[in-house]
Structure formats: structure tokens, C-alpha cells
Structure 1
Amino acid sequence: TLGHAAFLAVGAYTSTLLILEFPWPKLLLDWGLAYPISIIVAAIVAGIWSVLFGLPSARVKGFYLILTTMAAQFITVDLIITQYISQIGGRGQAFSLPPGTIKVGPWVIDSDLKVYFMMLVFVIFCTVAMVNLLRSKVGRAWVAIRDNDISAEVMGINVVKYKLLAFFAAGFIGGIAGAFWISNLAAISPEHFPWFWSLWLVGVILIGGAGSIHGAIFGSLFMVVIMEALQIAVMPLGDTFPKLLMDFLFIKEAVFGLAICAFMIFEPNGLAYRWWQIKNYFNLWPFSY
């Protein structure tokens, strides 16, 4: 959707408010369970919030689906969070997270290495969960609706119900991501969740391959590697072309747009399709049939 940054924001703010405002029992604080519990609650709240925007979107598709999901960004981040949620506790726009706030069990998440390993745990957990979900009755219904929603309805699949479940799953994962992201921030504000993030996520899916877990992973890796390589290539030129560094953000956005255009023209099925071809080749090797 084009409102996915809003679901990250819901997860991040729910987790932050629970940690800072909720009167946690001392036992849970001592055991480092406040943050893990806040992640679960944040994921559920983000999932429910996603379903609320899924209700008017369940019977539309294509361009109209894009417009209805885009509304989630402006209503959630630009209106509710900026004008109301950010004012809770008299903090103003930014919610500061004191050192030692993010704690999982006996471990305080206070370094990049710890954040990385926690991210790795979340990625593995979410990937395994989604792989198993896609193999279930719900996942098979999603595939049928994706391929042909009219045929799926004829087969007896409740299209609206399963579309709303898809919205919940997307919001749930987005809520986990948002709640995790605060572990890497000293303060959280609405500016951390611009609409461009939603566009970036859609671009990642287009590059990696829509409808595939492999596609989400490949698309993310591709974009991160490309952006890091671009930064490494541009930084040495800073002394010779100082304006190049000033315009680096616009260069990144231009490269992002060009990458999407190139994949849409030359590889519309994304990187996941290439992975499928390579895997099939080795499955059949040394025979060609």
C-alpha cells in the first residue's frame, strides 16, 4: 500500500507511549519485559488500524486502491499523530527515549550491534511466520484472490474477509517494524515517517517481485546495496564537486526512480523471478527437461 509508513508510525508511537506512559509493574521492568510486550501490543494496534483503512479499500483495486491506502498516511501521520498524539505529556513534537529505555530481558539495546542482532531475530521470525501462513488455508486464499478475485469468489472464498486479513497481516508486520525502529532512535517524531517511505517500500516490492517473500528480501538488499555503493562512489568526489554532496539526496531519489523504471521495462517480474529461474535450472541440471 501507499500508506504503509503510517502503520510503521502507529507501531512506533504505540510502543513508545506504552514504554513512557504506562504504569508498568516493577517486576516486568526488572525482567525487561516492558518493551517486548509493547511490541506485541503495537503490532496488534497497527493491524487493527490497517483494517480500518482496508474496509473502504476491500472492494476496489488498481488506481482506486492506491488512493484509498494513500489516505492512511495523511490521516494518521499528518493529522492524528502530528496534531494530537505528539502533544501527549506536553512533550511537543518529539518523544525522547532515555538511555536504557529499550531493554529485552537482561539486555539493554544500546549499541548498533545489539540493534542489528535484534533486527535479525525479527526478520527471521517474520519470514518464517509468513512462509507458514502462505502455506495455510489463508495463504492459499490470498494467492487465489491475487490471481483472479472473481474466480476465487466463485470457488466460495470470501474475498472481502481475506482482503481484510491481508490488511491486518500487513499492518501487524508494519507495527513490529515501527516498534523495532524506536530501538535505533534517541527520539521519535512525525518527520521519521514521511510518505516517501511508503513509496520506497512499494518500489522495493516492484524491484524484488510482487507476491513473493523472496522478492521483498531481494528488493530490500538490492536497494540498500545500490544506495551504499552510490554513497561510496560520490563521497570521494566531494572535494572536487562540493555541490554534488549537497544534492546527494536528490541523486538518491533519481537513482531510485530510474531503478524502478528499469525493472518495470526490462524485468517486470522482479528479482524473485530470476531466482526462480536459477533454482529451476539447478533442479533440472544436467538435463534440460
Structure 2
Amino acid sequence: MTVKLVLAGCGNMGYAMLSGWLESGKLRPDETFIVEPNAELRARAKALGSAVGSDAGEISPGAVPTLIVLAVKPQVIRDVTAGYRRFGDGRTTFLSIAAGTAMATFEEILGERAPIVRCMPNTPAAIGKGMMVTFANDRVSDDTRKFIADLLSASGEVASIDDESLMDAVTAVSGSGPAYIFHFIECLTAAAESAGLPTETAKLLAMQTVYGAASLAAESHEEPGVLRQQVTSPNGTTAAALAVLMGEDRLKLLVTEAVEAARLRSIELGK
């Protein structure tokens, strides 16, 4: 069996990534091996055409995967990674999507020769609209970096950083960020209901407005600030609302405080 990619963990995120790689043609099913102890999750990976096993010991002894993706929760990442120590001779690159687990932890477990990449995805990756940010140690080759970036692009946008300490800021902005947007939708829906709109209409208006505005910002050549100004007529309804949100930098300060709280918590969890 020729294995190009081993995926350790096929939960929601792992399965979404695997599906994206196969559907986009970035990988063929016969190039993948999925390690998943849960029988039901293992079965759905097998249904995609991938070879499957319940633990790392089922990978062929002679196999030299190009990439091993560690898609498990931070609570078990040490134990799971230890099962792949035999691939730490420098020929296989490891990609972890476990939040908060430092590069030093993987290097301690896998050895000093192992090429390792940390990745912070977010939940929209499950529908191909995610934001993935990577940090690689100096043993990852340029070709492998390109290969990983191409794989991850099936799940959304990809960026890289050169300072691992910035992963805490990444976590606070794009990792946790979807929850901020979901809460904004909740708040806008509640405000719409308070203004007299029926619940279902309020939900639709809030959801589509956020979706449409984000899509316009992404596709427009204008900066978000310019788009905001284009919507805001002097002394109009939007101006009245923005006077509340932007007065004394109210919303800016609140969001900055929220991101900083998440960043500090990320640092604590990584210790």
C-alpha cells in the first residue's frame, strides 16, 4: 500500500478536511489512510474510498507517508502523537490542527529530525469557507509547505506566520472569531424582534445581512471602511446607528477587549 497521507482522527473537522481533499481531487482515496478508533467514524471514512484502521499500528511497516495529519483534540494529542514516533526520522511531515499544543511538544515526542507544521483552522472550514493559519519548523521543505497550503486551500483561505507566539492571536481572531459573529447574529436578531419584526423574519434579516455584507467585503476592491461610508448617508438612519456603535470607539474597544481575553486564555491553555 502506497500511503501519501495519513489522517489521525476523523471527527467532524477531520472528516470535513478529508472530504474536501478528495472532492477537489487534491488527493485520491487510494493515497490516504485514516486512523480512527471509533467504528462509526471509521466506516464513513471508508465509504469515501480511503483505507482505514483503528490505530497507528495498522499502517504498513514499510510505509513512508508524505504527511501525517493529527486531527484530534488537544487533551489526547500527546498520546496520539506518540503512536507515530516511528515516522519521526525526517522523511514524513506532521501537520497538527490541535489548538494550543506548542511546536516544542511535538518536537519532544517525535524527535529533532521531524518536520512539523501547526495549523489553526476554524469551523467554517467544514463548508470550505474556513481560515487556516500555519506555522512550520525549519525542517519543513519549501515543496512540502506548498503541498500543505494547496491541501488546506480546499477548506478555505490559507495564511502562514513566522512567529509561533502569534498563534495565540490567530486563535483569538479567526479561531474563536466565528463565535463572535454568531453572537452578533443572535444580537441583531433579538434587536429586530424588539423592533417588532416576527421571529423568523428577524432571523432571516440578521443572517442574510451578515452573510451579504461579509461576501461584499470579501469580493469588493474597497476597504471595509469605505464600504461602510458608502452605506452611511449624512444624518441618515445608518449614521444614527453608527453613532451608537462607534461613539467613543465603543464597539472597537469591546472587540479589542474580547480578542485580548481570548489571546491571554490561549496562552494559559498552552502552558
Structure (1/2) with the larger helix percentage: 1
Tell me which of the two structures has the higher relative contact order, counting C-alpha pairs closer than 8 angstroms and 6 or more residues apart: 1
Structure (1/2) with the larger strand percentage: 2
TM exceeds 0.5?
no
TM-score (norm 1): 0.30
